[in-house]
Amino acid sequence: MDKIPVIIDCDPGLDDALMLMLAHGSGRFDIRAVTISAGKQTQAKTLQNALKILTLIGATDIPVHHGAEKPLLRDLVVSNDVHGESGLDGPSLPIPEMQAQPVSAVEGIASILSASETPITIAATGPLTNIATFLLAYPQLKSKIERISLMGGGIFRGNMTPLAEFNIYTDPEAAAIVFRAGVPITMCGLDVTHKALVFQKDIDLFRALGNQAGQVAADLMDFFSIFYRENRVELNGGAAMHDPCAIAWLMNPGIFTTKSCYVDVETKGELTSGATVVDFYNTLHKEPNATVAYDIDRDAFLDMLFNAIKALP
Ligand code: BDR
Ligand code: CA
């Protein structure tokens, strides 16, 4: 099977780290670059975290590009809940054996797309600042994007406010630019990621793999679970594997339940700023601009994650 050429934009991030393990370990992707967004932690920290994870999983040949320091119009508000002070608390990680490229995420994406004869997929699992900046700076390269598969938003729920999910809430103006760009989008929001759960018995299986990546994956999941067990009791001890969903959909969309919907982003609402407004029942009769995932075969998803991590050092 041909590998899927992909650029991954992320803000590691515990579940971003697991997403990188899935992408690399699956062997299904030709990862042309990893570009870094600032999210719950600063650009400096998320960049270091990406370099550490790529070193751990033996992917030091993948070019890494630093990205925007802050959202397009707003201040970056870092927080230490969920992912900890480093953005990747929990496991012990190697010192990076690689360095970031001298050129920025936007320039990196532009040169990869310009040089490619075939369109390239973008997987995005952080705030969409880099992708929006790229789309504004290089509209002529839009046709070189096969699709953007992103983790963000929600049809019926939020996690930063009642209706806004973190990645969209952090930079809603960027998200609005991306959803309005006319590029095919897959949206894996909280509706589906809160069904992509790992429980303690699953975490134990990752640890029992015996390789370094399995140990680190289990440690990341353990740390992530602390927040979920305290703050998302409705998930019955499960921790949501948000970011790996954006990669899993590219590997096998058949394990997801999706609907084509028109999606826009609220940038001003007093109560709803940063919410994805998903026209699930097509009340507006607008052309759908996104494939919105809202359910997943959890066992098949876990198998994917398990097999990928098993294949890593
Ligand atoms: C998203 O926010 C971050 O905490 C996660 O890495 C994920 O991308 C979930 O709302
Ligand atoms: Ca993330």
Which of 148, 159, 5 has the alpha carbon at shortest distance from 82? 159
Ranges under pLDDT 50 in the chain? none
Query: 46 C-alpha to center of ligand 2: Å?
Result: 10
242: helix, coil or strand? coil
Residue 53, Cβ density class (10 Å: 0-12 exposed, 13-18 middle, ≥19 buried): buried
Whether residue 165 has its Cβ less than 6 Å from ligand 1: yes
236's torsion region: left (phi>0), alpha (psi -120 to 50) or beta? left
- Ligand 1 test: best mutation among 166, 187, 221, most atoms within 8 Å of CB? 166
Place of tokens 């607008």: 286
d(C-alpha 36, C-alpha 49), whole Å? 10
Exposure letters 210-221 (e unless 16+ CB within 10 A, then b): eeebbbbbbbbb
d(C-alpha 135, C-alpha 76), whole Å? 21
pLDDT, tens only, 53-69 = 999 999 999 999 999 99
Whether residue 273 has its Cβ less than 6 Å from ligand 1: no
Map out the domains of the chain with their CATH numbers: 4-310 (3.90.245.10)
pLDDT given for residue 86 in this prediction: 86
Output phi, psi for 121, to 5 deg: -85, 145
Query: 261 C-alpha to center of ligand 2: Å?
Result: 23
Cα→Cα distances 49→60, 153, 157, 188, 207, Å: 13, 24, 29, 23, 21
Place of tokens 């030091």: 60
Q: Which element (helix H / strand E) includes 20?
A: helix 14-25
Whether residue 171 has its Cβ less than 6 Å from ligand 1: no
Atom of ligand 1 nearest to the CA of 190: 10
Exposure letters 165-175 (e unless 16+ CB within 10 A, then b): bbbbbbbbbbb
- Give the list of residues 6+ apart from residue 124 with CB closer than 8 angstroms, or none: 8, 9, 10, 37, 131, 148, 149, 150, 151, 152, 178, 246
Question: Are the C-beta atoms of residues 227 and 17 closer than 8 Å to each other?
Answer: no
DSSP, residue by residue, 129-177: HHHHHHHHH-GGGGGGEEEEEEE---SS--SSSSSB-HHHHH-HHHHHH
Atom of ligand 1 nearest to the CA of 126: 8
pLDDT given for residue 91 in this prediction: 87
pLDDT given for residue 81 in this prediction: 77
Query: 115 C-alpha to center of ligand 1: Å?
Result: 31
Q: At what angle do helices 129-137 and 105-115 cross, to 10 degrees?
A: 60
DSSP 124: E
Cα→Cα distances 302→194, 249, 255, Å: 14, 13, 11
Quick check: is 83 catalytic?
Answer: no
d(C-alpha 291, C-alpha 155), whole Å? 12
